[in-house]
Chain A
Amino acid sequence: MDFSLAVSSRLSFPYKKVPLPDGNFDWLPIVPVQLSRSTFLTTQFEAIADTGAFDCLFHADIAEAVGIKDITTGIVKPSGGIVKGLPIFIYGHEVRLVIGSDNFKIQAFFSTELSVSALLGRNGFFDKYIVTFDPSGDSPSFSLSRLRKK
């Protein structure tokens, strides 16, 4: 990839706490995002920055908010997890991902099987930003610096 290192802005977010059993909790890098498509723009929702995810995956419920009535009309492909098991089928639709004042076109994949709102993966998110994870300190944080193609 041929990118300049110029960045117009850097967004910094705190990690967010999510519950675990027995009163424990985990910290997750959660980004508030929106999706847009045609005249539709969703309300802001939480998406987890997940370096292990190939694609940007969204719960199927979010598709309705951008006017996609049937996710299975999109590009279908199988997607597997980290443990053995049958792949699930995910359905791709072209949308715009909105992060702060930035927005860009991505192939978003939707699934009814997702247990969380959304995962931001390598294709469509990590190829757009320099992402710095900083777990130091009492309140871990991470930052996004937008890559601009030359």
Chain B
Amino acid sequence: MASTLIEMPVSEQAEDRRLALLRSAPLNSWIALSADESKIVAIGKTFVEADAIAKDSGAKNYVLTRTPDVWISRSLSPVG
């Protein structure tokens, strides 16, 4: 069967922008990042709250993520 490679584009500038956004976001929160990760479109205390705020703002194709209580290196499995 033929294999199709689907690549997700990224640039160094975009990654640095993402890093700055994560550093600026409140800890222990859910944030919605715009599709190009150039801005935070919503912040909420729960997944559902951040999602609703993002939807209400008219944002499309955003992705939700959770900020931890502190940014440290982690051995992830299973708790932080």
Residues of A at the B interface (CB closer than 8 Å) are 6-14, 16-21, 25-26, 32, 42-46, 48, 50, 52-55, 57, 59, 61-62, 64-65, 79-82, 88, 90, 100, 111, 113-117, 119, 121, 138-139, 143, 145
By a CB distance below 8 angstroms, the chain B residues around A18 are 19, 22, 71
Report if A48-B76 is in contact (Cβ < 8 Å); known contacts: A19-B19, A25-B19, A64-B46: yes
Contacts of B51 in A (CB 8 A): 42-43, 65
Q: Which A residues lie within 8 Å of B4 (CB)?
A: 8-10
Q: Which residue of B lies closest to A25 (CB)?
A: B19
A6 CA to B2 CA, complexed, in Å: 8
Choice from B3, B16, B76 contacting A17 with Cβ under 8 Å: B16
Number of B interface residues in the complex (CB < 8 A): 40
CA distance A90 to B78 in the complex (A): 10
Q: Would you call A10 and B6 a contact (CB within 8 A)?
A: yes
B contact residues around A114 at 8 Å (CB):
78-80
Given the known A-B contacts A7-B3, A100-B6, A116-B68, are A32 and B63 also in contact in the complex, defined by CB atoms under 8 Å? yes
Instruction: Tell whether, in the assembled complex, residue B18 and residue A17 are in contact, meaning their CB atoms are under 8 Å apart.
Output: yes
Interchain CB contact under 8 A, A20 and B7: no
